[in-house]
Amino acid sequence: MLLLVGLGNPGAKYQGNRHNIGFMAVEAMARAYKFGPWKKKFRSEVAEGSIAGVRCLAMKPQTFYNDSGHAVAEASRFYKVPTHDVIVFYDEIDLAPGRFRMKQGGGAAGNNGIRSISAWLDDDNFRRARLGTGHPGDKDKVHSHVLSDFAKGDAAWVEKLIDAVAKSAPLLVAGDDEKFQGEVMRLAPAEKAGGRGPKAQTEN
């Protein structure tokens, strides 16, 4: 089994926040591959299904973003899922809006949700699907930036990015993160998302 974990905050108040793009990604995959209904389990909302024959559990921790690790650890221990089969989708302010990169292991880079998961799993070797939301340009504005809603003008690129993640998911569950990343960026090129920059690459 793979755990497809989206990071975000629970409740309608946060639904459209940049911080909740991880929730949006796992919801899109669950819809696209007709997962079962969402249920409350493991301090999360979870939906079970399969992608390309691989059993998956989509998770939206309800513990609030910064304590996501508690929920992820409960599910991973229950199903005996190894750390490298935990895939976390989350907003990355250090990537331009619409950019996408995969990474396995490494530090939290200031992301408290990732830090929490590393601490609860006692291992940082899980896979990270980083969805670029852009930096506000001032570190003092980061908190308000991630907890504010996407602007109306962001809707098109957000939808393309989330849709690309769902369409490309068979490559992800096959374990080919590099091809998955490349296909996501092919379907939702950053140049059309307002985020021109260097060619995407996989970080390991």
Model pTM score = 0.91
Reading the block at residue 63, the tokens are 């513990």
Contact 80, 123 (CB under 8 A): no
pLDDT tens-digit series, residues 166-183? 999 999 999 999 999 999
Q: Which fold has domain 2-193?
A: Rossmann fold (3.40.50)
Catalytic residue among 19, 70, 84, 145: 19
Please state the rounded mean pLDDT for residues 108-137.
Answer: 94
pLDDT tens-digit series, residues 30-82? 999 999 999 999 999 999 999 999 999 999 999 999 999 999 999 999 999 99
What is the residue whose two structure tokens read 């591959």?
33
Q: How far apart are CA 84 and CA 185, in angstroms?
A: 23
143 is known as an active-site residue: no
User: What one-character DSSP code corresponds to residue 89?
Assistant: E
**Distance, C-alpha 3 to centroid of its chain:** 11
- Any idea where the domains of the chain sit in the sequence? 2-193
**C-alpha closest to that of 200 among 128, 101, 130, 88:** 101
